[in-house]
Amino acid sequence: MIRLKDVAKKANVSPATASLALNNSDKVNAETMRRVQKIAAELNYIPDVRAKALKAKETKILGLVIPEIDNPFFSEIAKEIKRVAKKNGYNIIYCGVESQQEELDYINLFRGMQVDGAIFASSVSKVDANLALIEELAANFIPVVFINRLPKHTENIIAVNSELEKAPQVAIEHLVKLGHQKIAFAGKENESRMKGYLKALQKLNITYNNHYTFKNILSFEDGYKLGEKIAKQQDRPTAIICHNDEVAIGLIQSLVRLGLQVPADISICGIDNIRLSHFYNPALTTVNIPNKKMGRQATKILLAELNSSPEQKAKLFKNDYNFSVKLIERETTRALN
């Protein structure tokens, strides 16, 4: 293990000078700098991040907390965030969480100051048990940005949102225009999309039918199983809006397998507009959520927070970020009869 002092000794300077030289300080003689850097390279010296961070309070690492990453919606976000971060000299580590507890572990890791900042893109159950802790993290340790998690920014956390609640409404409007009234929703109770569905029904004066909301449907598999249930159902909806594209695709998969036609027999609409939805057969009608845009914005904000004066920072907190959603009409929805 090569230490700074090894480099210094070989270059005949003190550790202090060596440190300065390696950090391109203009206090050090140009010739000395070149010599030290050359020797460091020869010895393949890599500074100890822990020691460095301990003193310099910087690791150039950002943490990204996301739900376990089999959902392409999130992997697209993750990729975009990394792209922007890398371009600005920061490394990203992903923290995939499946439960409140796991998220908590990472919050503590972050509190231990391994990272310079964090983005939380993890959706969370109705009571946000970790919110207080994250608030504290943001207040005392590192800047934090949320993606689709808080309604608005709080004292210490900036939130980048999309109009998630409006997505089902957009879908319903589209379906109503096509003559549908029996419009179902498959998703998660108390989550913004499900809420948005219920609100939109009221707003558009469509009678709510208890049999038309399917709860706890989140994954491809859930959608698949739901299809088996719906195929057997008596009073079948004529259209179903799904919590995300994966559910929609799983659903279509099983409906078709059981002999139902999409969209001839039943219209299906997804939410998210993941890349796959475009290539699916039939191509999926869905509501676009600008995930990459959110990722990009969140990262920019985080970087700005890290590199700005208190006044600039205050200004950052004046803004609210709420990106709009948009229907992408493709092949899985069609006019009734």
Binding region for DNA (CB under 7 A): 1-5, 12-17, 19-20, 22-23, 27-30, 32, 45, 47-48, 51-52, 54-56
Beta carbon of residue 112, minimum distance to a copy of itself (angstroms, whole number): 3
Site string for a copy of itself, 129-158 (x = CB under 8 A): -------x---xx-----------------
Beta carbon of residue 313, minimum distance to DNA (angstroms, whole number): 20
CB atoms within 10 A of CB 233: 11
- In this structure, what DSSP letter does residue 115 have? S
Beta carbon of residue 79, minimum distance to a copy of itself (angstroms, whole number): 6
State how far the Cα of 330 lies from the Cα of 319, in Å rounded to an integer: 34
Beta carbon of residue 108, minimum distance to DNA (angstroms, whole number): 12
Which strands sit side by side in the sheet containing 326-328, from one edge to the other? 213-215, 183-187, 239-242, 267-272, 285-288, 326-328
Q: What are phi and psi of 314, to 5 degrees?
A: -60, -40
* Distance (Å) of CA 297 to CA 19, 79, 107, 119: 35, 13, 22, 11
> Both tokens of residue 174?
């589209």
Q: Does 104 bind a copy of itself (CB under 8 A)?
A: no
Contact residue for a copy of itself among 109, 176, 178, 316 (CB under 8 A)? 109
- Closer residue to a copy of itself, CB minimum distance, 141 or 317: 141
Cis peptide before 15 (omega within 30 of 0): no
From DNA, a copy of itself, none, interface partner of 312 (C-beta below 5 to 8 A by class): none
Tell me which amino acid residue 74 is.
Answer: F
| Contact by Cβ (8 Å): 106, 141 | no
Contacts of a copy of itself in 277-306 (CB under 8 A): 279-281
Contact residue for a copy of itself among 51, 129, 139, 314 (CB under 8 A)? 51
Contact residue for a copy of itself among 28, 106, 239, 328 (CB under 8 A)? 106
- Closer residue to DNA, CB minimum distance, 113 or 176: 113
- In this structure, what DSSP letter does residue 212 have? G
> Both tokens of residue 183?
């419009």
- Closer residue to DNA, CB minimum distance, 3 or 10: 3
Q: Does 120 bind a copy of itself (CB under 8 A)?
A: no
Q: Long-range contacts: 286-289, Cβ < 8 Å, 24+?
A: 286/245, 286/248, 286/327, 286/328, 286/330, 287/167, 287/168, 287/170, 287/171, 287/325, 287/326, 287/327, 287/328, 288/325, 288/326, 288/327, 288/328, 289/73, 289/162, 289/164, 289/167, 289/325
Q: Does 321 bind a copy of itself (CB under 8 A)?
A: no
Beta carbon of residue 238, minimum distance to a copy of itself (angstroms, whole number): 22
Contact residue for a copy of itself among 43, 61, 131, 206 (CB under 8 A)? 61
Q: Does 39 bind a copy of itself (CB under 8 A)?
A: no
Q: Does 32 bind a copy of itself (CB under 8 A)?
A: no
From a copy of itself, DNA, none, interface partner of 127 (C-beta below 5 to 8 A by class): none
Rg (Cα) of the chain, in Å, rounded?
25
Beta carbon of residue 10, minimum distance to a copy of itself (angstroms, whole number): 18
State how far the Cα of 226 lies from the Cα of 233, in Å rounded to an integer: 11
Beta carbon of residue 324, minimum distance to DNA (angstroms, whole number): 43
How are beta strands 326-328 and 285-288 bridged, if at all?
Answer: antiparallel
Interface contacts to a copy of itself, rule CB under 8 A? 1, 44, 46-54, 59, 61, 68-70, 72, 75-76, 78-79, 82, 86, 91-96, 98, 102, 105-106, 108-109, 111-114, 136, 140-141, 220-221, 224, 250, 253-254, 256-257, 275-276, 279-281
